[in-house]
């Protein structure tokens, strides 16, 4: 029985981790695969660490949350601290290389740790707004849970109405995704 | 005549709250009464967004007491009516639900459990089991379906209207914050296309004709002058409930026949237990899986049979023994050792269940 791939995405409210998880889940579902996505949510509307739990597999998914992830993506210092507990010996841990003062917080018992300059790339090469799409590209490259083209279709479905008005947005989003994948490819 | 909300079978990928709203639409619910509380808010959001097209209605009340009583009113008028709530809202709603029990009114209530006691968390728990099965000042004359998947949320929301109107007991769909907020796949369908006939509704009050002349007068009571009067009425209700219980009770089980240890759970936690049992079986552990789908009435016969064979029973729940108490009542006399994994107010993962079983088995 193939086990689902388990992903934890965490960042500051507004960094868009929930959108990334939702689009990936929808892309997998569109391909007829099984996906389960659950956001964490509390009484706070903003200001907290936002965590998304995503599982993608070929059979119905079990419990919505899990103890150990296959891949953890942490996009802020607090997110690193918050998600350390989901790391096991097989976990790939990805964090943004722009996060400062977290050397002591990084998990030590992982399979691999990748630092990717997603924030920097989004600011310098693209636009801060597509930061989370860069992350999506990185997740796709690191896990292979969904094909790049299917993820692009899912983005098209979600944001198509905006792309119609401004085709440059589409180009920027797709470029961001490819760039995210490159950042991971460069490391492995 | 507005078109049917769902035509044909449709694979969907949505949140549980959205599932409930669609299922109520598909079941032909005519009106929802509600007051906002997390994590069930989106049920009314989706409901109000969709209903103009289908000629259904919504009333937002001033609190859950009122939401419950207006649902009672809707049913008295013969409407397929429902409400949804959670946590402290569920507490308040017990008063009108008690009245519905007293008058045998088929109200449908969807509960998305959150942490307790009091405001606690808006996130998740299984701590509203006691309240939902046995709340109010009465005898728990109600039906409670505890769902585990989005498909079940859809299926049992539809079914709850039929159970309620067939047996005339308040009926609950007991979900939780995880089910409310997560997204997973399921099939939407029109009940009629699957051969599910909706039990017709009829009005308790305001019927045509002159009372006492053309028809018997309607006499709805939730108060009695003499204790014997109440006793007689309740004997009738309790007999009806006892008769209906075996027809209503549902459960899900596997690998219990040769199991030394059977894991008992309900709702979303049973997903973790199902995975755990499968994995433990692969590793050679003789474990089984038992899940009551109805928490009220409990699947007594099946549960007693199972408990008669197993040496150990492990009850797993996101509460401090609320399911455990219901189980113990049913299996009284069983010599199986009772074990537990209680995590009040937090989720249970399959890893934790596996660890607990290995700890027991040494």
pTM of the predicted structure, to 2 decimals: 0.96
Residue B216, domain member (yes or no): no
Q: Three-state SS for B58?
A: strand
Average pLDDT over residues A79-87: 93
Last-in-domain residue among B169, B194, B219: B194
pLDDT in tens, A38-67: 998 765 555 678 999 999 999 999 999 999
Considering the domain architecture, whether residues B263 and B353 belong to the same structural domain is answered as yes
- CA–CA dist A38, B183 (Å, integer): 6
Residue B130, domain member (yes or no): yes
Strand pairing report for B171-176 and B183-188: unpaired
Min Cα–Cα distance to chain B from A66, Å? 5
User: What local confidence, expressed as pLDDT, does residue A93 receive?
Assistant: 94
Average pLDDT over residues A134-161: 92
Split at pLDDT 50, 70, 90, the class of A103 is: confident
The answer to whether the complex's ipTM is over 0.85 is yes
- CA–CA dist A62, B28 (Å, integer): 31
Side-chain-side CA neighbours of B196 within 13 Å: the count stands at 18
> Would you call A63 and B181 a contact, using CB atoms and an 8 Å cutoff?
no
Confidence check: pLDDT of A177 > 60: yes
Last-in-domain residue among B146, B173, B194: B194
The structural domains of chain A, ordered by start, are 5-187 (3.40.920.10)
Q: Is A48 on the interface with B (CB under 8 A)?
A: no
- Find the closest chain B residue to A40 by CA distance: B123
User: What local confidence, expressed as pLDDT, does residue A109 receive?
Assistant: 87
Mean pLDDT taken over chain A: 91
CA angle B252, B345, A78 (to 5 degrees): 120
Q: Is A66 on the interface with B (CB under 8 A)?
A: yes
Considering the domain architecture, whether residues B255 and B183 belong to the same structural domain is answered as no
Burial label for B284, CB within 10 Å (0-12, 13-18, 19+), is exposed
* Of the partner residues A39, A40, A62, the one whose CB lies closest to the CB of residue B275: A62
Split at pLDDT 50, 70, 90, the class of A101 is: confident
> Would you call B121 and A42 a contact, using CB atoms and an 8 Å cutoff?
yes
Average pLDDT over residues B34-39: 97
What CATH number is associated with residue B97?
A: 3.40.50.970
Residue B235, domain member (yes or no): no
Contacts of B272 in chain A (CB under 8 A): 62-63
User: What local confidence, expressed as pLDDT, does residue A18 receive?
Assistant: 93
User: What local confidence, expressed as pLDDT, does residue A111 receive?
Assistant: 87
CA dihedral B311, B317, B322, B327 (to 10 degrees): -30
Q: Three-state SS for B6?
A: coil
pLDDT in tens, B281-300: 999 999 999 999 999 999 99
Contacts of B275 in chain A (CB under 8 A): 62-63
A50 preceded by cis ω (within 30°)? no
Mean pLDDT taken over chain B: 97
User: What local confidence, expressed as pLDDT, does residue A188 receive?
Assistant: 66
Residue B322, domain member (yes or no): yes
- Find the closest chain B residue to A43 by CA distance: B122
Find all residues with CB under 8 Å of B323, minimum gap 6, and list them: B126, B129, B264, B265, B266, B292, B295, B315, B317
User: What local confidence, expressed as pLDDT, does residue A45 receive?
Assistant: 54
Interface test with A, best of B41, B121, B122, B185 (most A CBs within 10 A): B185
* Of the partner residues B183, B271, B352, the one whose CB lies closest to the CB of residue A37: B183
Strand partners, A35: A56
Phi, psi of A162 (to 5 degrees): -80, -40
What proportion of chain B, given as a percentage, has pLDDT over 70?
Answer: 99
Strand partners, B34: B60, B84
- CA–CA dist B249, B296 (Å, integer): 8
What CATH number is associated with residue B331?
A: 3.40.50.920
Q: Structural domain of residue B38, as residue ranges?
A: 10-194
Confidence check: pLDDT of B100 > 70: yes
Average pLDDT over residues B228-245: 98
Q: CA A66 → CA B16, B45, B92, B344, distances in Å?
A: 19, 29, 33, 17
pLDDT in tens, B12-21: 999 999 999 9
The mean-pLDDT minimum among A6-10, A144-148, B138-142, B264-268 falls in A144-148
Residue B227, domain member (yes or no): no
What proportion of chain B, given as a percentage, has pLDDT over 90?
Answer: 97
Interface test with A, best of B123, B152, B180, B182 (most A CBs within 10 A): B182
Contacts of B348 in chain A (CB under 8 A): 63
User: What local confidence, expressed as pLDDT, does residue A102 receive?
Assistant: 87
Considering the domain architecture, whether residues B263 and B337 belong to the same structural domain is answered as yes
User: What local confidence, expressed as pLDDT, does residue A105 receive?
Assistant: 87
Considering the domain architecture, whether residues B305 and B181 belong to the same structural domain is answered as no
Domain count, chain B: 2
Considering the domain architecture, whether residues B177 and B56 belong to the same structural domain is answered as yes
Average pLDDT over residues A78-82: 92
Confidence check: pLDDT of B185 > 60: yes
Query: CB of B324 within 8 A of CB of B338?
Result: yes
- How many CB atoms within 10 Å of residue B251? 18
Q: Is A81 on the interface with B (CB under 8 A)?
A: no
User: What local confidence, expressed as pLDDT, does residue B362 receive?
Assistant: 87
Considering the domain architecture, whether residues B68 and B171 belong to the same structural domain is answered as yes
Residue B242, domain member (yes or no): no
> Would you call B278 and A1 a contact, using CB atoms and an 8 Å cutoff?
yes
Considering the domain architecture, whether residues B177 and B287 belong to the same structural domain is answered as no
Query: CB of B297 within 8 A of CB of B104?
Result: no
User: What local confidence, expressed as pLDDT, does residue A149 receive?
Assistant: 94
User: What local confidence, expressed as pLDDT, does residue A1 receive?
Assistant: 44
Residue B330, domain member (yes or no): yes
Confidence check: pLDDT of A3 > 90: no
Give buried/exposed letters for B21-50 (b at 16+ CB in 10 A, else e): bbbbbbbbbbbbbbbbbbbbbbbbebbbeb
Average pLDDT over residues B171-196: 97
Residue B166, domain member (yes or no): yes
Considering the domain architecture, whether residues B83 and B182 belong to the same structural domain is answered as yes
Confidence check: pLDDT of A2 > 90: no
* Of the partner residues B13, B278, B347, the one whose CB lies closest to the CB of residue A65: B347
């Amino acid at each position: 029985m193939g086990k689902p791939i388990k992903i934890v995405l965490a960042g500051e409210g507004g960094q868009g981790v929930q959108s990334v998880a939702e689009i990936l889940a929808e892309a997998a579902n569109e391909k007829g695969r099984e996906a389960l996505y659950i956001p964490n949510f509390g009484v706070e509307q903003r200001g907290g660490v936002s965590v998304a739990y995503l599982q993608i597999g070929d059979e119905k998914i079990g419990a919505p949350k899990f103890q150990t992830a296959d891949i953890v993506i942490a996009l802020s210092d607090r997110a690193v601290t918050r998600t350390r507990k989901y790391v096991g010996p097989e976990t790939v841990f990805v964090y943004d290389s722009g996060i400062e003062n977290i050397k002591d917080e990084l998990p030590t018992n992982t399979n691999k740790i990748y630092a990717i300059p997603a924030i920097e790339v989004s600011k310098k090469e693209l636009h801060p707004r597509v930061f989370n799409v860069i992350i999506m590209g990185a997740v796709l490259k690191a896990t292979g849970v969904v094909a790049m083209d299917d993820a692009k279709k899912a983005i098209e479905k979600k944001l198509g109405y905006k792309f119609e008005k401004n085709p440059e947005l589409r180009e920027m989003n797709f470029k961001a995704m490819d760039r995210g994948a490159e950042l991971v490819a460069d490391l492995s | 005549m507005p078109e049917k909300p769902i035509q044909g079978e449709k694979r969907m990928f949505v949140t549980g709250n959205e599932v409930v709203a669609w299922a109520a639409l598909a079941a032909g619910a005519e009106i929802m009464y509600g007051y906002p509380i997390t994590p069930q808010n989106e049920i009314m959001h989706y409901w109000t967004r969709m209903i103009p097209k289908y000629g259904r209605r919504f009333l937002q009340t001033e609190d859950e007491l009122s939401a419950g009583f207006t649902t009672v009113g809707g049913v008295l008028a013969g409407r397929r009516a429902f409400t949804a709530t959670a946590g402290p809202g569920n507490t308040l709603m017990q008063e009108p639900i008690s009245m519905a029990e007293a008058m045998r009114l088929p109200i449908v209530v969807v509960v998305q459990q959150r942490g307790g006691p009091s405001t606690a968390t808006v996130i998740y728990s299984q701590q509203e089991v006691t309240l939902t099965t046995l709340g109010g000042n009465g005898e728990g004359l109600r039906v409670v379906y505890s769902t585990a998947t989005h498909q079940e949320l859809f299926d049992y929301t539809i079914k709850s209207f039929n159970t309620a109107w067939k047996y005339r007991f308040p009926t609950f769909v007991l979900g939780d914050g995880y089910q409310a907020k997560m997204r997973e796949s399921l099939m939407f369908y029109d009940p009629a296309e699957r051969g599910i006939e909706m039990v017709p509704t009829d009005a308790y009050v305001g019927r045509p004709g002159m009372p006492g002349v053309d028809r018997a007068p309607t006499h709805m009571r939730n108060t009695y002058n003499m204790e014997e009067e109440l006793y007689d009425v309740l004997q009738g209700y309790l007999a009806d409930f006892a008769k209906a219980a075996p027809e209503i009770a549902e459960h899900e089980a596997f690998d219990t026949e040769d199991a030394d240890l059977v894991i008992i759970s309900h709702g979303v936690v049973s997903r973790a237990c199902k995975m755990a049992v499968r994995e433990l079986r692969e590793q050679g552990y003789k474990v089984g899986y038992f899940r009551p789908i109805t928490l009220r009435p409990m699947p007594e016969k099946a549960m007693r049979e199972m408990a008669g064979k197993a040496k150990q029973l492990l009850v797993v729940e996101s509460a401090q023994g609320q399911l455990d108490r219901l189980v113990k009542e049913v299996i009284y006399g069983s010599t199986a050792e009772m074990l537990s994994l209680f995590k009040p107010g937090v989720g249970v993962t399959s890893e934790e269940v596996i660890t607990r079983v290995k700890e027991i088995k040494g």
